[in-house]
Structure 1
Amino acid sequence: MLSCTAGCGAPQKGRPSPASGSSAEKLPAQESWDITIEFSDAGRKDAVLRAGHASEYHQDSKKELLIDHGINVTMFDKNGGAPTVMTAGRGVMHDNQDIEAFDNVVIRSGDGTVIRTEHIVRTSSDKMLRSERFVTITKPSQTIRGYGFESDDAMKRYRIFQASGEAVSK
């Protein structure tokens, strides 16, 4: 189930409006500013996405929601544990509710783990986070870097490919 709350109204100063004379194919089917989208699974809140701006595009039978002006995704685990929060400059939400995030992606888990990368995908079907780009994982006592990353939403179990790192020995 997907619910969406969005603000509509007259264009405000500083907000883009569709350019006249543009091809209808390139114009969004709809636009919203200051959006909140809640994702649920069997009546339980799974994630909440917030963004400054979203544009929905249709091509054939597919829809994509381009989200920008800063995005924030709060992901909840099924046990009610501390949420994981992902922020990024922009992203894309696909028909199947997979979310791609780009530009200064930062993910903070409830236990203080921080992941930084330039691109990550959160797949809705298995609730996993994946990146093929360079990632840095920072915990209070260690920093791991590498290319390629995979983790569950809560970042309790993750693996990093082509890794290097440093740890504090006590």
Structure 2
Amino acid sequence: MRRLVIGLGCGSCGDDGVGPVVAGAVRELRLPDVHVVAVEDPAELVPLWGGAELVVVVDAIAAGGPPGSLTVVDLTARLEGAAVAGVDDGWMRGGVGRYAFGLAAAVQLGRALHRLPERLVLVGVEGSVFAAGAPLSPVVADAVRPASRAVAELVALEPASAGSALGSAYADRW
């Protein structure tokens, strides 16, 4: 498995379900050589991504931006200490929704166990409603299509840009 898209989140917890919804939209694109999965529990991430070259995780974030806005962060570059202008580290503030063990904890665990993919990118969708039983908020539902396009472009561009860091201009495109 060389390229993996993971939709992270709980479909019955409001905007926390955006990751699996975006993963479903990406799956429908039938991109060649791209494996797509949806997971609810962030603890499942480390075993999934260990041998991949590129992993794109789609997740709801609560970084203080406008609901529905997208943040694209090359987490590999962040782990190597590269600053990305204009990108907040809100993804590291812990889990949203039902889990205190979120993406940031999974990244740190993967790093400690030497089980990170070669390149790890977050496509974060700013959420606002994380209540149990709630559907996606309208503004986050409207972000599904742009997020799906961002993921598709990331996995399509990977062979041409392997190993490169996403610059702030790239992250701001969505």
TM class, shorter-length: under 0.3
- TM-score for the superposition, normalised by structure 2: 0.23
| TM-score normalised by L of structure 1 | 0.23
The higher radius of gyration belongs to 1
Higher percent of residues as strand = 1
